[in-house]
Amino acid sequence: YDDGMVMAVRFSDAKEVLLRRPGKGAITAMMWDGEERRIVFGSAAGDCGVIDITA
């Protein structure tokens, strides 16, 4: 999280999916929405985003 990267990993086989490339400020906040379909995040650089994992 220090480099701004957001990644999802499946525990059963360690498969990784890059959801946000590194390069901006460290991720300082992250949580699922109420439906557990989207991840919201914020960084120390002031940027934020919503990642829809069902897309």
Kindly report the pTM of this predicted structure: 0.78
Per-residue model confidence as pLDDT tens digits over 1-40: 689 999 999 999 999 999 999 988 999 999 999 999 999 9
- Residue 18, judged by CB atoms within 10 A of its CB (0-12, 13-18, 19+), counts as exposed
In this structure, what token pair is assigned to residue 29? 């906040």
pLDDT at 43: 95
Delimit the domains of the chain by residue range. Answer: 6-52
pLDDT at 1: 64
